[in-house]
Structure 1
Amino acid sequence: MDRELTRRMAERADEGNLPFVTLCTVGRDGALRSFVHARSAEVLGPGGGEPLCRMGSLTKLVTAAALLRLVESGRLSLDASLGEVLPEAAPGELAGTLGAATLRQLLGHAAGLPRGGYHAPPEGEPPAEPCAPLFSPGQAFKYSNLGYALAGRAIAAAAGDTYAAHAERAVLAPLGMRSSTLRAPRRAGAPQGMQRAHYRSLVRRDDALEPAPPIVLPTAAGGLISTASDYARLVAALFTPQVLKGAPLLRPASVAALLSPARRAAPGLSFGLGVGQATFQGLPCLFHVGCAPGFTSYFACLPALGLTAVATAGRAGATNELKTLVHFALGRLASDEPPPSPPSPAPSGAHLGGAYFSGARRLEIRERGGRLVAIHDGGPERLLTHHEGASFIQQGGPFAEHLLRFELSEGRAVACHAGPRSFSRDRARRPRPPDRTWGPLLGAYRHPLTGEAEVFACDGRLVFAFGPTDRALLRPLGPATFELQDGSFHRERATFAELRDGCFWTLRIGDMDFVRGGDP
């Protein structure tokens, strides 16, 4: 597998313009195997080791584990409320029903808090304004960095120390994660690679690389600096302890608490405490994505097979590249690396051919000389290259950077998911036309940290799509103001601004600013 894997890493790095990409796998034998592809020695870690990465939201699993260590020692309870754990909170700070939210609800994104976090105050300081829940705790799922910031404060209060000090002592140190830290390294005295990861990361803005801001998330939500190998130790120790030597980090009951109750976040996707849950090749798969200025990280774990893979990249917005790499590695490990066998035949035009609709948009799949092509809105034919299963990669044009994933029912495709947009085969009814006043709102938008989104019309409704599965209806509140319904931005306000050339150019959701760009 090594040769094929390094080839694919080089391809992903070249295709995504990645300064580095790293991968670490943990097999059934418990051995950690690391692979690094770097364009320059400058991005390597101390002593030429693995590049360090700002792990973004992969920090949340560390926070959940650190809190559960306090639960195991009797100093906290998952069902304790914030009001009980933070009795010293300033009057009005735990606004609305927030004081009744439990630690379990905070870690499970069920406290009703907005997403927040990209302009958060320093750790330990209260927010500038009281933050009231958008809905009663426990009522629904809503991904929130602010919830983890409050969980970090609860950890500090129970531990009698800072969040970072307790988490490093209770989680990082026992696992030998020596290349990891939760404390912002100072310019003087910190390892060179750690300084670079924190201070000298780059983000791409308007086709130019600029220095990234030093901190964008509360420490407990996204402050971890680590390597793929270090983080693989954490994932394996929690979810496949049978393959590692040494005492487990958490008791079985605590690991079970991490995974339940799993709240539905989107079709086929749910979240436990600090970890997402889906399926991979029919098996339960644990995963999470991390985004930070200049960096992307991703892990996936198959507990039933005792397999883990973690990947990092030196560029924001590289989620697709890392997912492809990690899933390839897990697929090869799951097959025990037998001699290469002929790939399963790709679905043909008989299975996939025909027209698909998404509002006013039309996607047509045809077969040409034994190859499939995609035609968007009557445009030129775009060749489709088989990826795996019923997934294809489109060569050029709209959605060229995304997989086209077909949903099959009884051997025939009923839908196609292309990037943030979903097309339906349903020909039984004609979609309702979009409101003509929506034209300036429609199109693709991009956030510098979290990637792309799209606003489109579907069957007479206005839809906001964020990533491959997160979708929400936009309910009008005013001419350019909406409320999102469902999805991870549930009940957030969306405001379009900067109208010029017949289009709105910015979209603010909560405290996140999206800028128009990319294919519509």
Structure 2
Amino acid sequence: MSVDTDHWGRRLAALAEEHGVPGATLGILRTGPDGDELAEAAYGVLNLRTGVDVTTDSVFQIGSITKVWTATLVLQLVDEGRLDLDAPLLEVMPELRVGDPEVTKRLTMRHLLVHTSGIDGDILTDTGRGDDCLEKYAALLADAAQNHPLGATWSYCNSGYSLAGRVIEKLTGGTWDAALRERLITPLGLTHTGTLPEEALLFRAAVGHLTEDGTTVPAPVWGIPRSAGPAGAIIATAADLLGFARMHLRQGQAPDGTQVLSAAATAAMAEFQADLPDKYTLGDSWGLGWERMGWGRHRLIGHDGNTIGQAAFLRLLPERGVAVALLTNGGNSRKLYEELYREIFDELAGAKLPHPLGPPDEPVEVDPAPYVGVYERASVRQEVLVGENGPVMRVGLTGPLAEVLQDQDADYPMVAVAPDLFVCQDPETGNWVPATFYQLPSGERYVHFGARATPRRA
């Protein structure tokens, strides 16, 4: 049975309107022995200020889905025998220095791809637009804080992927952008994919939107610094994003049969590498770049992406040859994703997206006192307080990100779900975000919130 494009276009429009999403594109891919089927739909406007319509050939920022592309470049270099995932990075990058000298000696590419390096993950320093931006960025990591011991836990790490991009540059002799274009974009025949603002200007490009005093407005900044490119700078259409996903569903093959990535490396990227302390926000485990998630008896891989006012979602169900991409430019895109993907995957594959964790039906009595304190890492300060109405997670941005977004601290009311597990309500969207409190064997205490492990400082 063919995918009903008209039906999913109507569902996209209805749900996007319900959740205040200004514009979105949806792509559904099914691939199999008889070929490929691609269904696309578009809704809304690219920019509330200009009113330009979204079309299926519009480009959006895919954010951190970029990390899977960077990981794919890394695995290509492993295929070529130019890189060992478990060798110290000093072997290919002798000038490397991170904040902890012992970590410098032992840090590997696998740590970076799996988010277990412990390097402070949200160092968003802008090192300029030049081709040397990643070289400059890597040098800054000599002063990076070490959030947790190497390999001791899992914490989402943008900084590690920028460093991985610099390793790619060292081994290919060019920029990360050029490696991406030469090794993936061109071989896969992707015509609406790029990494730089001047490339976005060649297409119908979405602008991110934020909420200010209950009103949705265009974001004050379009993109992220070039130094964060390997972690989140790709722009693409939903169809081009699915062209990348197709290669992974086809064991590394491009549409013309070229082996872009070995079948063994493609499989390795989806295999289990690390458990997540919080199994509710993203997946239940991590591969080499991919999120891994279990929806009932089905095993999916995928990734999400968030930039300044844009959000993207990619899910692959390899056993059925199905991939779905959703690109958005504001509003409660998480709710749009949850409701739309629940319908799509149920109809196409009988795979049921679990409902997000929320407050329990019956109140759970947990003393919040042991969790009260200050938790801090680069760019974010989190403080657990007990107010008149119960515990609250106060979240504030610091550093370069705070300067860009100029956000005020936000209070997230906390509800206990189980000992060491709370859900915190986002005051802007109403969504519930899990907060998991835990302790390493060495005694350090952490909260896992927003996919990051943040150490307790006071």
Establish whether TM, by shorter chain, passes 0.5.
Answer: yes
- Shift, 1:493, TM fit: 4.8
Residue 78, structure 1, aligned to residue 85, structure 2: yes
2: CA distance, partners of 1:135 / 1:462: 20
- Shift, 1:246, TM fit: 2.3
Q: Find the counterpart in structure 1 of residue 224 from structure 2.
A: 216
2: CA distance, partners of 1:316 / 1:432: 33
Identical residues among aligned pairs (%):
21
Residue 438, structure 1, aligned to residue 386, structure 2: yes
Label 1:274 to 1:334 Cα distance change in 2 as closer, same or farther (>3 A): same
Q: Find the counterpart in structure 1 of residue 177 from structure 2.
A: 164
Structure 2 unaligned segments of length 5 or more: list them: 373-384, 398-404
Aligned residue runs from structure 1 range 391-402, under 5 A = none
Contact 2:5 2:39 in 1 (8 A): no
2: CA distance, partners of 1:389 / 1:83: 44
Letter in 1 for 2:88: S
- Shift, 1:93, TM fit: 5.9
Provide the secondary structure at the position in 2 that maps to 1:322: helix
Structure 1 unaligned segments of length 5 or more: list them: 336-387, 392-402, 406-416, 476-481, 496-520
Indicate which of 432, 435, 446 corresponds to 1:484. Answer: 446
Q: Find the counterpart in structure 2 of residue 504 from structure 1.
A: none
Q: What are the Cα deviations for residues 425-458 of structure 1, in whole angstroms up to 9, with x where unaligned?
A: 58xxx725544961176168698799x9835263
Provide the secondary structure at the position in 2 that maps to 1:312: strand
Contact 2:42 2:56 in 1 (8 A): no
Residue 230, structure 1, aligned to residue 240, structure 2: yes
Provide the secondary structure at the position in 2 that maps to 1:12: helix
Label 1:453 to 1:23 Cα distance change in 2 as closer, same or farther (>3 A): farther
Contact 1:96 1:132 in 2 (8 A): no
Relative to total residues, which structure has the larger helix share, 1 or 2? 2
Label 1:81 to 1:5 Cα distance change in 2 as closer, same or farther (>3 A): same
TM-score where L is the length of structure 1: 0.67
Provide the secondary structure at the position in 2 that maps to 1:229: helix
Label 1:323 to 1:457 Cα distance change in 2 as closer, same or farther (>3 A): closer
Q: What are the Cα deviations for residues 283-324 of structure 1, in whole angstroms up to 9, with x where unaligned?
A: 111121111112111011110111111111121651221232
Q: Find the counterpart in structure 2 of residue 264 from structure 1.
A: 275
1: CA distance, partners of 2:454 / 2:445: 6
Q: Find the counterpart in structure 2 of residue 35 from structure 1.
A: 41
Letter in 1 for 2:339: T
- Shift, 1:255, TM fit: 1.2
Q: Find the counterpart in structure 2 of residue 97 from structure 1.
A: 103
Aligned residue runs from structure 1 range 32-431, under 5 A = 32-39=38-45, 42-43=51-52, 49-89=56-96, 95-122=101-128, 123-124=133-134, 125-126=136-137, 127=140, 130-185=143-198, 190-193=201-204, 196-197=205-206, 200-206=207-213, 207-216=215-224, 218-241=228-251, 246-265=257-276, 266-267=278-279, 269-315=284-330, 317-334=332-349, 417-418=357-358, 422-423=359-360, 425=362, 431=365
TM-score where L is the length of structure 2: 0.75
Provide the secondary structure at the position in 2 that maps to 1:185: helix
Provide the secondary structure at the position in 1 that maps to 2:149: coil
- Shift, 1:262, TM fit: 2.7
Contact 1:97 1:132 in 2 (8 A): no
Provide the secondary structure at the position in 1 that maps to 2:146: coil
Contact 2:61 2:310 in 1 (8 A): yes
Letter in 2 for 1:247: T
1: CA distance, partners of 2:393 / 2:329: 28
Greater Cα offset, 175-184 or 438-447: 438-447
Relative to total residues, which structure has the larger strand share, 1 or 2? 1
Label 1:390 to 1:64 Cα distance change in 2 as closer, same or farther (>3 A): closer
- Shift, 1:8, TM fit: 0.9
Contact 2:29 2:39 in 1 (8 A): yes
Label 1:251 to 1:390 Cα distance change in 2 as closer, same or farther (>3 A): closer
Label 1:81 to 1:316 Cα distance change in 2 as closer, same or farther (>3 A): farther
Contact 2:272 2:285 in 1 (8 A): no
Larger CA Rg, structure 1 vs 2: 1
Contact 2:309 2:329 in 1 (8 A): yes
Q: What are the Cα deviations for residues 226-272 of structure 1, in whole angstroms up to 9, with x where unaligned?
A: 11110001112113448966234211111122123431113361111
Q: Answer 1 or 2: higher relative contact order, Cα 8 Å, separation at least 6.
A: 2
- Shift, 1:139, TM fit: 2.3
Provide the secondary structure at the position in 1 that maps to 2:90: helix
Indicate which of 436, 451, 456 corresponds to 1:472. Answer: 436
2: CA distance, partners of 1:243 / 1:87: 35
- Shift, 1:118, TM fit: 4.2
Contact 1:238 1:248 in 2 (8 A): no
Letter in 1 for 2:196: R
Greater Cα offset, 315-324 or 113-122: 113-122
Label 1:281 to 1:446 Cα distance change in 2 as closer, same or farther (>3 A): farther
Provide the secondary structure at the position in 2 that maps to 1:97: helix
Provide the secondary structure at the position in 2 that maps to 1:98: helix
